[in-house]
Structure 1
Amino acid sequence: MANLARITRKHMEEEETGGTGELLRQTILGGQDGLVNVLGIVLGVAAATSDARMVLVAGFAAAFAESVSMAAVAYTSTRAEQDHYRRMLAVEKYEMENLPDIEREEIRMIYRKKGFWGKDLERVVKVITGNKKMWLDVMMKEELGLVDVGGIKPKNEALVVGVSSFIGSLLPLLAFLVLPISSAFFAAIAISLVILFAAGMVKGKLTTGKILHDGVEMAV
């Protein structure tokens, strides 16, 4: 019974935190890509010139292009992901209605692989297949590995990624606004590493719990 309660609680928690997790993922993705890509461009220009203005012009141009590109990718990929999810959802609904025994057996196989046997397994199967919404969600997540992002608007996704990418892109430029170009070169690297490490720590705290590990992983 404890295992069954844990499964039900996990299912409810995934529904409640799915949108927040996706928002965090996209924010970090946009910011990280913007920072890293523009940092590379800025360092390349800085190595070739002693004029900080050229570095800043190149950096701002790259930041704008990067944010627009990332926003466009986020929009199209979200639309494609939603379309694919809807198609597979329709397939699973049809199979549940017309081939319930086969779909029920698939649930049994999924939880047998998770270590459930005998009465515990049959109890899990009965509870899940007794709730059509939960049954469908389990099939989509466990069998197909798909997560519902239908509640996320592609335009909002593009906005989040675009803005976070633009902000991330500007961070390496801060050093070139206040320091000589020779010092700003190394300061930009240091600033970027610190920000990436901090973002990784936040991600780790909210997801895996491996704060230091995720911080180092993102920084390097």
Structure 2
Amino acid sequence: MADKDQNLMEKNNIIRAGVMGGNDGILSVSGIILGVAGATSNTGAILLAGFAGTLAGMVSMAMGEYVSVSSQHDAQKKVQNIQTKALKDNYQSEFDFVAEKYHEVGISQELAEQATREMMTKDPLVTTVRERYGFSPNSVLSAYSAAIASFISFPLGSLLPMAAMAFSPQAIREAATFLAVLVALAMTGYFAARLNGADKRHSMLRNVTAGIFTMLVTYFIGSLFR
């Protein structure tokens, strides 16, 4: 059962990193190319800026995911060390904490102590870490998997705004890119909400609003240098 839970958590972590990477690729690169498009009509310069932003974003997102998940591992390891020492120095205090926590949620005192005794006999560290800090030491996510997912999904997200800018007629390419990005952001907002169990409409609206703001600001700033 623990292996199944771990596999599900790892899968969700990879999907989360992928959705975030793709969303950031859409938003960041569209902001870059629309900002440059506001300053110049040179298609080559616009696409070169987008390509450079894509390369930078791939590395940035991957390293960000790696550092973030690794930092989480470090914090969890510190907690485990604290609890290992606590169990060694004052086992009864840790036992009483877990039993009292179970009793507070409505379990009888006798049954709470029995459940605590059985679980702490099996694995006291996992039990006390879970009840004190809300995570299981067995649930360790892969920093490498999250980094790779972001590294791959970021350029995939950047493809749509780049393609819209490259292949749309020059007279409407900014508007075409703008609309293409809004559709893509609505999609990533929807899938992120499905993954997190959040409100889909709110997530889509939040993504689209952030995209509109980013693109308008960058295009306006770029136009000041036209």
TM-score after normalising by structure 2 = 0.76
Match of 1:76 in 2: 67
- Kept in 2: contact 1:46–1:181 (CA 8 A): no
- Give yes or no for the alignment of 1:218 onto 2:207: yes
Match of 1:48 in 2: 39
Instruction: For 1:116, give the aligned amino acid.
Output: G
Match of 1:118 in 2: 108
Separation of aligned partners in 2, 1:42 and 1:53: 11
Match of 1:202 in 2: 191
Report how many aligned residue pairs link the two structures.
Answer: 207
Match of 1:101 among 81, 92, 95: 92
Q: 1:42 to 1:93 in 2, by over 3 A?
A: same
Separation of aligned partners in 2, 1:181 and 1:144: 56
Alignment of 1:1-220 (within 5 A): 14-112=5-103, 115-119=105-109, 121-122=112-113, 124-132=115-123, 135-146=124-135, 150-152=140-142, 154-208=143-197, 210-220=199-209
Separation of aligned partners in 2, 1:110 and 1:181: 65
Instruction: For 2:144, give the aligned amino acid.
Output: K
Q: Percent identity?
A: 24
- Kept in 2: contact 1:30–1:165 (CA 8 A): yes
Per-residue CA shift, 1:18-76, capped at 9, x if unaligned?
11121111111211222212221111111111222221111011111111122122223
- Kept in 2: contact 1:31–1:168 (CA 8 A): yes
Instruction: For 2:9, give the aligned amino acid.
Output: G
Alpha-carbon distance, 1:97 to partner: 3.7
Q: Kindly indicate whether structure 1 or structure 2 has the higher relative contact order, using CA contacts under 8 Å at least 6 residues apart.
A: 2
Whichever of the two has the greater Rg, that structure is: 2
**SS of alignment partner, residue 28 of structure 2:** helix
Q: Unaligned regions of 5+ residues in structure 1, if any?
A: 1-8
- Kept in 2: contact 1:60–1:170 (CA 8 A): no
- Kept in 2: contact 1:205–1:211 (CA 8 A): yes
Separation of aligned partners in 1, 2:101 and 2:155: 43
**Cα RMSD (Å):** 2.8
Q: 1:62 to 1:117 in 2, by over 3 A?
A: same
Separation of aligned partners in 2, 1:123 and 1:177: 68
Separation of aligned partners in 1, 2:201 and 2:27: 20
